[in-house]
Structures are given as structure tokens and as C-alpha cells.
Amino acid sequence: MAAAPLKVCIVGSGNWGSAVAKIIGDNVKKLQKFSSTVKMWVFEETVNGRKLTDIINNDHENIKYLPGHKLPENVVAIANLSEAVQDADLLVFVIPHQFIHRICEEITGRVPKDALGITLIKGIDEGPEGLKLISDIIREKMGIDISVLMGANIANEVAAGKFCETTIGSKVIENGLLFKELLQTPNFRITVVDDADTVELCGALKNIVAVGAGFCDGLHCGDNTKAAVIRLGLMEMISFARIFCKGQVSTATFLESCGVADLITTCYGGRNRRVAEAFARTGKTIEELEKEMLNGQKLQGPQTSAEVYRILKQKGLLDNVSCDPCFIGSRPPLAPPASFSDSCVHLSCCLACLDTRL
């Protein structure tokens, strides 16, 4: 690791990425350990006739993905990815998980060999042998150590400075503590644990449960049914982690912000719940609802659902009772549900409604 000050680059500038940029930009101005300028890679778009990078750099606001929240002036938006990451000591990955392969291939070799990364990406990938964590993809492609950050963190609330907690998982604790120093504020409280794989899986799997919770809302099933969906979903998250995590899985990790707290928040206030509710009510495709409700951002729950189903099928676990109800139903069928009891009493009847056109 280079001597201080450490240069920081945020790879991504959506709703959550911009909220994190606000935190980091404010923090580095107070900490001599970090460079006072924070680079943020922005996928260039035209908004109201202006380049998004120009808007961010001149007006200090991401008016498309985080409107109403000013970014610190030391956060510099850069459209060229290679330029943004050049010589960065600390990389913060916050992009849709389906783009991680291309991003890593483009920036490999452009950062110091001893650079460190942290992923805020809530998703998983499929490799030849089944489950592939996003952190593993980054680690293998770039050869750098990767921590993960997951928690009950709705971006707009974080940007507004409302109190919340989050969890950093790091197999090298001192690296996790370094990112805690970079990111923690009085209203953004961080716990560091070494159960990094479980932390990361929680961030991906809770989106599937949130889709089920959204279906409950769309079908007017009531609070009792929704509570059952959340409880069953948590049990399935634990079962899935115990099967697929390489190391030991600590039940205590599920009691951190990355676990039960993030699950509750997502099932009541997250975008996956909102879009799933609209899907059940309107019959529109997920793609149509993304455009209407998410301002062009991608939903993670449906894609993660399909990936989990294929991973379970590949491993011959579709009939395994210990990981059955929540995730087997995540395979994509033809249409929104007409009622909660259309298929079966388990959570799979909620999650068996994702559109095949995803």
C-alpha cells in the first residue's frame, strides 16, 4: 500500500454510488490519510441537453440518480473509466452486478498491485462450478484484496444524513478497518466482521425475498403473510449460505445490519419490493416498470432470482428441502400471480412469478 495520502476512486455513480460519494467526499477532507480529491467514474449520459459529468462537476449534484442532494466539490466525475481508476489506491465498486466482468477487464493493470477494493454490489454471478461471488470475480481478475459492504442502507436516507448501520465483511480485518475509517460517520455506523462471504450473500439474497414481499403487497395478502415471507426468506438465506459459502458461516452475521436489518428494510422500502408490487398489480413487464419507476436503473432481484435457480439446478438441489421454499420458486414463469395461493403455501409461490422476458 502506498504511503498516505491514499487516492480513492468510486466505480459507479448511480443512486447508491452517489450517496456513498457524498460520504467519502466529506470524510476525506477531514482525514490526512486520504487524498482530498475523490474520483468517481460516471457512465456518460445526456440529461436535459447536458453531459451528466458536466452537471456533477459544475452543479455538484447527480440530478438523474440522486436529485436534491449536493455532492462535495472534491468529488470529480470522470467519464473515462481507465482515467478514473488510474493510480487509485482504494477502489469502491458500486455498479449493477451484471457489468462487473467487463469493468474488471477494462481496469486490470491500471491500478497499483497493492491497491485495495471494497464492493457494495448486491448480486451474485454464475461460474462453471456454480455460485460465484462478485468479490471473488474482482479478486481473481484484478489480483487485489476485496472487502464487502452490505446493510440496511436506502440511498436517499443515507444521503440525507439519517442514522443507519452497515456491515463491512473483510477476510483481512485491517483492510476492513481502513474502509471503515474512510466511510464511517456519526450517522453511518459500521461494524467490521471477518465472515465476508456471508455478508456478501446476504446483500444478494435479500433482494429475492423482497420480490416475494412485493408480490404480497400487490396481492393485498396482509401483514401476517408478508411476515411469513420475510421469516421464510431469512431461513432460506441461512440455508443457502451454509451450503455455498466456502468458510464457516456464523449465525451472528445474520443479526448484523447486512442480515435481518437489510432484509426488513428492503422488504418494506426497497426498489425490488416496489417494482414487484407494481408487477403483481399491473401485469407490466419488469423491463417496462424499470423504465417507469427506476429512471433507467436496473433491478437486481429478478436477475439474482434466476441465477440462484440455475445454481441450485446445476447442483441438483432443487429437491433439497433444506433450501427449497424460497429460492426454487425464483425460476422465471410467464405472468404475474393472480393470488397468493395459486401454487403452494411456501414462499416459492410468491417468487415463481418473474417474467421470462427478463
Tell me, what's the pLDDT at 300?
81
pLDDT in tens, 247-262: 889 999 999 999 999 9
Please give the distance of CA 209 from its chain centroid, rounded to a whole number: 14
Mean pLDDT of 144-160: 97
Is 122 annotated to bind a ligand? Reply is yes
Give 335: exposed, middle or buried? Use CB within 10 Å, 0-12, 13-18, 19+: exposed
Q: Which residues of the chain does CATH 1.10.1040.10 include?
A: 198-351
Tell me, what's the pLDDT at 67?
97
Is 41 annotated to bind a ligand? Reply is no
**pLDDT at residue 100 is higher than 90:** yes
Is 17 annotated to bind a ligand? Reply is yes
Average pLDDT, the chain: 88
Helix or strand (DSSP H, E) at 76: strand 75-78
Is 248 annotated to bind a ligand? Reply is no
Q: Is 114:1 a contact under the CB 8 Å cutoff?
A: yes
**Exposure b/e, 57-91, CB count within 10 A at least 16 = b:** beebebebbbeebebbebbbbbbebeebbeebbbb
Residues that are catalytic: 206
CA 187/CA 350 separation, integer angstroms? 35
DSSP state, 257? Answer: I
pLDDT in tens, 32-86: 999 999 999 999 999 999 999 999 999 999 999 999 999 999 999 999 999 999 9
Give 8: exposed, middle or buried? Use CB within 10 Å, 0-12, 13-18, 19+: buried
**pLDDT at residue 341 is higher than 70:** no
CATH homologous superfamily for the domain 6-194: NAD(P)-binding Rossmann-like Domain (3.40.50.720)
Tell me, what's the pLDDT at 318?
75
Mean pLDDT of 221-233: 93
pLDDT in tens, 103-139: 999 999 999 999 999 999 999 988 777 889 999 999 9
CA 347/CA 82 separation, integer angstroms? 44
Match 411456501 to its residue by C-alpha cell: 346
Q: Is 175:192 a contact under the CB 8 Å cutoff?
A: no
Tell me, what's the pLDDT at 106?
95
Is 210 annotated to bind a ligand? Reply is no
Pick from 43-52, 235-244, 310-319 the range whose average pLDDT is largest.
Answer: 43-52
- pLDDT exceeding 90 applies to what percent of the chain? 73
CA 251/CA 194 separation, integer angstroms? 13
Mean pLDDT of 193-209: 96
Is 295 annotated to bind a ligand? Reply is no
**pLDDT at residue 269 is higher than 70:** yes
Tell me, what's the pLDDT at 238?
94
Backbone dihedral region for residue 48 (phi beyond 0: left; psi -120 to 50: alpha; all else: beta)? left
pLDDT band at 322 (very low <50, low <70, confident <90, very high): very low
CA 177/CA 168 separation, integer angstroms? 8
Tell me, what's the pLDDT at 120?
98
Helix (H, G, I), strand (E, B) or coil at 150: strand
Tell me, what's the pLDDT at 306?
85
Is 13 annotated to bind a ligand? Reply is yes
Is 271 annotated to bind a ligand? Reply is yes
Match 471494497 to its residue by C-alpha cell: 118
Is 274 annotated to bind a ligand? Reply is no
Is 43 annotated to bind a ligand? Reply is yes
CA 64/CA 48 separation, integer angstroms? 10
Tell me, what's the pLDDT at 218?
94
pLDDT in tens, 5-16: 999 999 999 999
> Can you read off the three cell numbers belonging to residue 88?
487509485
Is 330 annotated to bind a ligand? Reply is no
Is 227 annotated to bind a ligand? Reply is no
Q: Is 43:71 a contact under the CB 8 Å cutoff?
A: no
- Check if CATH label 1.10.1040.10 holds for domain 198-351: yes
Out of 166-175, 239-248, 296-305, pick the least confident. 296-305
Sheet of strand 188-193, all strands in order from the earlier edge strand to the far edge: 75-78, 34-41, 6-11, 90-93, 116-119, 145-150, 164-169, 188-193
Mean pLDDT of 326-332: 46
**Exposure b/e, 212-222, CB count within 10 A at least 16 = b:** bbbbbbbbebe
Q: Is 206:155 a contact under the CB 8 Å cutoff?
A: no
Out of 141-145, 163-167, 205-209, 306-310, pick the least confident. 306-310
